[in-house]
Amino acid sequence: MIAFEAVSKTYAAGGNAALSAVSLSVQAGEVFGVIGASGAGKSTLIRLINGLETPTGGRVVVDGDDVAALGVDGLRALRRRVGMIFQHFNLLSGKTVAQNVAFPLKLAGRPAAEVTARTAELLERVGLTAHADKFPAQLSGGQKQRVGIARALATGPKILLCDEATSALDPETTEQILDLVSGLNRELGLTIVLITHEMDVVRRVCDRVAVLEAGRVVETGAVEDVFLHPASDTARRFVREADGEPAADAALTGRVVRLTFRGEATYKPVLGEVARTTGVDYSILGGRIHRLRETPYGQLTLALTGGDIGAAIAQFQAAGVRVDDLSGETAR
């Protein structure tokens, strides 16, 4: 649905690149997250998809069209197929909720009767029918983002771009908005690209994620893999921020391992069983049990002492638990 082919973007001639040789592909119907610190190039990346920015190298292909090769009319047609929501909502302050939602339809020159009907339908979907005649300043942040979502959906797009859409919201509202966004993905089959600096957002709604660092993609993969087994330092840092995973203490004795349980294994009493049969003692250094969208998972960091540690590890692996030996990684 969306492909980045060695895309680069440099703002000032001779200046630093905002993006360097970024290649990505987003499949139709998936929720694709891009995570990165501020200044990593996330906003530039998402704006290349609807042509708000143009690449200085490479190609961005969206829904079969090379964005940079589209003419003015082609680009406007593409933008009607790509909705966008923003961190600060960017609603028109002088227009009511209903007028804001109707705005893209009016821009597209749709007949008045259709505009009215479609606006009512969209407000219903985001649960704002009662607020149709209010102005944005009279709404809460979550309500404003709902208006933003309704407006982005007005022209019936196939793709929804979320530019830090929950970064200005409190945790509870963030959850509601993310639920709404996931619902759109499931019910309308929307392809969603979201950029964020919060791993938590990625964990809740994304299927796949790309990790951006200083304009380069340092890691891409299924959210489960990147979240549980981050390969890059950047990804590890985001995961640790999300979970507060403790660093191993140098004073520890024994072998430090991290166990990852996924799916059904999460609920089995594996740990006690292994300890009993192999005579290994364990102390728990840290752990987390959570959900990645629908999949439950658990991760435990243990120090193993005594008994047959090798057998214990083999038994964990046989039970479907992934074991990472952290003894060599003191700096974690």
Partner 1 sequence: MSVSNIDWSEIGQATIDTLAMLGGSMVLTIALGLPLGVVLFLTGKGQMLENRLANGALSLLVNILRSVPFVILLIVMIPLTVALVGTSLGVAGAIPPLVVGAAPFFARLVETALREVDRGVIEASFAMGAKRRQVVLGALLPEALPGLVAAATVTAVALVSYTAMAGVVGAGGLGDLAIRFGYQRFQTDVMIVTVVLMLVLVQALQMVGDAVVRRVSHR
Q: Where do contacts with partner 1 occur on this chain (CB under 8 A)?
A: 50, 52, 72, 76-77, 79-80, 82, 84, 86, 88, 90-95, 103-104, 106-108, 135-137, 151, 154-155
State the nearest-atom distance from the C-beta of 148 to partner 1, in Å. Answer: 8
CB closer to partner 1, 116 vs 220: 116
CA dist., res. 177 & res. 165, Å (int): 8
Closest CA to 174 of 201, 214, 135: 201
CB closer to partner 1, 88 vs 229: 88
State the nearest-atom distance from the C-beta of 323 to partner 1, in Å. Answer: 47
Closest CA to 33 of 283, 232, 257, 207: 207
CB closer to partner 1, 156 vs 306: 156
Cβ 8 vs Cβ 19: under 8 Å: yes
CA dist., res. 280 & res. 79, Å (int): 60
Count the neighbouring beta carbons within 10 Å of the beta carbon of residue 55.
21
CA dist., res. 26 & res. 32, Å (int): 7
CB closer to partner 1, 94 vs 263: 94
State the nearest-atom distance from the C-beta of 80 to partner 1, in Å. Answer: 5
Which burial class, exposed, middle or buried, applies to 96 when counting CB atoms under 10 A from its CB (0-12, 13-18, 19+)? Answer: middle
CB closer to partner 1, 142 vs 254: 142
Residues in the chain: 332
- Residue 314's contacts (CB-CB under 8 Å, 6 or more residues apart) are none
State the nearest-atom distance from the C-beta of 48 to partner 1, in Å. Answer: 12
CB closer to partner 1, 36 vs 136: 136
Q: Which amino acid is at 269?
A: P
State the nearest-atom distance from the C-beta of 12 to partner 1, in Å. Answer: 13
State the nearest-atom distance from the C-beta of 168 to partner 1, in Å. Answer: 12
